[in-house]
Amino acid sequence: MGDELTPRHRALATAAVILAALLYSIDWTIAAVALPHMQGAFSAAPDQISWVITSYIVASAMMIPTAGWLSGRFGRKRVFLTALAGFTISSFFCGLADSLAFEVIARAAQGASGAFIIPLSQAIILDSYPPERHARAMALWGVGSVLGSVIGPTIGGYVTEFLSWRYIFYLNVPLGILAWLGMAAFVPETKRHRERKLDWFGFLTLALSIGALQMMLDRGLRLDWFESGEILLEACLAVLGFYLFIAHSLTARQPFLDLRLFTQRRYFFALLFVAGYGLLTLPTMVLMPTFLEHIRSYSIDAIGLLQAPRGVGLLGAMLASGHISEKIPPRALIAFGLLCLAFSSAEMASWNTDVGEWPIVWSGFLQGIGAGIMLVPIQMIAFQTLPGERRTEATAMFNLVRTVASSVGVSIAFTYFVHTSAVSRSQLVEHVTPYRAAMQSEGVASNWNLESETGRAKLEREIDRQAAMIGYSSDFWLIAFGAVLGLPMLLVMGAGKRKAAQPSEPSLTGAKPAFSADH
């Protein structure tokens, strides 16, 4: 690692970078709990207000891959400061918006500008510390890049409940300014390669593919998936864009993304694991608030408190992982994390509609441990033997894969939930008849009297509740099964050889370095 990329005040530079990453990751989830309040403020329909989330996700996913080229062309610090300034300014306009159209545009600008923060912050942290301290550095970076999405709903719930939904965006302004000043003062700039040209065809085809895929995943459930012409069109665009991008990248002299990254065996397996990480961890974070609200009828602030143990487990495990990953093989830590996710998800699948607070607390804490203990070793596998000059491009691809996989996981979870709930409801309704012994018992007959309109309404609500519980349990079983399926991949990956990282360069010049696959 070159001394020119080591900050003079490393602790202050690290704090500024982590704060910026934390702000961006919080905004992935913080707006979700405020949607009902925003819907009322803008007089919007449910499918219209969802664009507040969709615009942020799609814009972010489309811009993440450009981080490598932009940092090489204009300098990594300059791009980071511009992105952070754009994120902060657009956050202010998100809170100021007086119409849905203005809010969606501001959220899209917020996502597009903030998209560079995560991959560039990861590359900055890796370049700021020597190879022997990368594990601890990645643990600190993970606190900002991952913990924010966990605590986002809790913060958003409290701010919305006691202030206003607008303040979930206004809070970004002073903290964004603080992070910008810290970056400007303490983070060194990288070399600029003005001769680098943007591969426009590669960028546009990849952006088309990612944007169409994200739109399809976000809107598929509401539009009944492939029964909708819009979803079919988005699926075709995603496939076409990806095909054109691959074909072009394999033949272009200087492609937008160098696909030879995937010839690095350990990096390739790390991408598979980080995809699994996104598939398994984000769905539970999204499902639990709705479960606690609709099944257990908790208030927003109570939901935030019950979700807090997951964040505690995640933070503790991530920091611990940074200390022990230098002594314990990465495969062992990933296996432990997968087992924690599998066991906690299986426990959650056994819940009923009367589950108490203690099972919710300890299973969430264990979920956090499983998610936190895995991320640092996955990153070590990805970047430990990767040439330093490919670091920014590799971190961009790494975070893009995690983002897309997380969206896929959430879409699968909600689609499976809706399907199993609908099937379960139809099966439960078949057993509702006055001739069944269960319906003739004194307690049931008095509460769910089929002869009265009130009794039938109460029974229908209870059937919906039980059907939803079956849907949640099915999703939790699916996550547990997916975690177990990840274990055999650790054997296929192999232990790998530990190798010192090469000196870091921010980007490529004219020719690309040759890769030697790490077998």
The predicted-structure confidence for 147-160, as pLDDT tens digits, reads as follows 777 777 778 777 87
- pLDDT, tens digit (0-9, with 9 covering 90-100), for 244-257: 988 888 887 777 77
pLDDT of residue 496: 47
pLDDT of residue 346: 93
511 DSSP 8-state letter: S
CA 60 to CA 151: how far, in whole Å? 20
Is the model's pLDDT at 386 over the cut of 70? Answer: no
Is the model's pLDDT at 126 over the cut of 90? Answer: no
Residue 141's pLDDT band (cuts 50, 70, 90): confident
Asked if 180 and 84 count as a contact pair (C-beta separation under 8 A), the reply is: yes
pLDDT of residue 329: 85
pLDDT of residue 438: 58
pLDDT of residue 498: 46
Is the model's pLDDT at 475 over the cut of 50? Answer: yes
CA 331 to CA 338: how far, in whole Å? 10
Q: Tokens standing for 190? A: 């990288």
pLDDT of residue 518: 43
Asked if 118 and 21 count as a contact pair (C-beta separation under 8 A), the reply is: yes
pLDDT of residue 470: 92
Tell whether domain 261-410+476-498 is in CATH 1.10.275.10. no
Asked if 270 and 379 count as a contact pair (C-beta separation under 8 A), the reply is: yes
- pLDDT, tens digit (0-9, with 9 covering 90-100), for 57-68: 778 888 888 887
The better pLDDT of the pair 194, 86 is held by 86
Is the model's pLDDT at 311 over the cut of 70? Answer: yes
Mapped to the 3 state alphabet, what secondary structure does 153-222 carry? HHHHHHHHHHCCCCHHHHCHHHHHHHHHHHHHHHCCCCCCCCCCCCCHHHHHHHHHHHHHHHHHHHHCCC
pLDDT of residue 445: 55
Tell whether domain 1-198 is in CATH 1.20.1250.20. yes
Q: Say what percent of the chain tops pLDDT 70.
A: 86
Q: What is the dihedral of CA 389, 393, 397, 399, to 10 degrees?
A: 90
Asked if 137 and 121 count as a contact pair (C-beta separation under 8 A), the reply is: no
pLDDT of residue 500: 42
DSSP-assigned letters across all residues of 108-154 = HHHHHHHTTHHHHHHHHHHHHS-GGGHHHHHHHHHHHHTHHHHHHHH
pTM: 0.76
325 DSSP 8-state letter: T
Over residues 191-216, mean pLDDT: 80
pLDDT of residue 28: 74
Q: What is the mean pLDDT of the chain?
A: 80
Is the model's pLDDT at 486 over the cut of 50? Answer: yes
Residue 5's pLDDT band (cuts 50, 70, 90): low
Look at 96-105, 109-118, 292-301 and tell me which has the smallest mean pLDDT: 292-301
The better pLDDT of the pair 248, 339 is held by 339
- Cα dist. 198→81, 203, 252, 491 in Å? 21, 8, 12, 39
Q: Say what percent of the chain tops pLDDT 90.
A: 14
Is the model's pLDDT at 330 over the cut of 90? Answer: no
Q: Any idea what the Cα angle at residue 340 is, between residues 336 and 346, rounded to 5°?
A: 140
